[in-house]
Amino acid sequence: MTTINHNRLNSILLLSVKNKPQILQMLQNLINNAPQHIALLNQFVVAEQTEQARQLLHKVRGSFATIGADELAKQALILEDQLAAVSAIAPEAIQPFIALYQQSCSELQTVVNSHASQPCEPTEKLDLNNLHRLLLTQNMQACNVVLQGNTELKQLLPEKQAALFFHLVASLDFAAAARLLQDHLPTGTLGK
């Protein structure tokens, strides 16, 4: 089961191409903080400190909802609501949430590792015609092609156009991104 919305996470990474190392570090911090948060959550539930447990769940929910861990955010909200309605819950009631939290962190770690290990320079030459076709057909694979070829795209497009292009792809406005890329296709191609 996939616990992370990879389209949303890729959009975040695309929107912040210049700050990608910082975003990856922020994601790593979320992962690194999980064991401490899980221990605290267990401690708060056992000690019947419902307000502290709710605040911690709220913090986790906000952080993970932003990066596309929708199911984790949903389950955190359910627990928050349960804690608001009662003075205590059984420690075993939070175990499914903890398992989902750990699974989400594991999946997120895989994403962070794959992006951190990507070489600065693309290993293959960017196929602009293929990218243009993917954009025209609204194919989500375009996001991955743009991530892998971001260095070439920055060299190909003027700075402001590159920033706009990355923004358009990240916001999934593929038609506008295709129009912007059209002028930069190799001579004699129609991008179809």
Q: What's the confidence (pLDDT) of residue 18?
A: 64
Please, what's the largest Cα pairwise distance for the chain?
Answer: 71
Q: What's the confidence (pLDDT) of residue 191?
A: 42
Spans of the chain, pLDDT less than 70: 1, 15-19, 118-124, 188-192
Contact between 38 and 101 (Cβ < 8 Å): yes
Structure tokens at 163: 């920033």
| Digit-coded pLDDT (tens) for 60-104 | 999 899 888 999 999 999 999 999 998 889 999 999 999 999 999
* Residue-range domains of the chain with CATH: 6-116 (1.20.120), 128-182 (no CATH)
Q: What's the confidence (pLDDT) of residue 144?
A: 79
Sole residue written with tokens 């205590």: 88
Q: What's the confidence (pLDDT) of residue 121?
A: 43
Q: How far is CA 36 from CA 31, 33, 67, 98, 190, in A?
A: 10, 6, 20, 12, 54
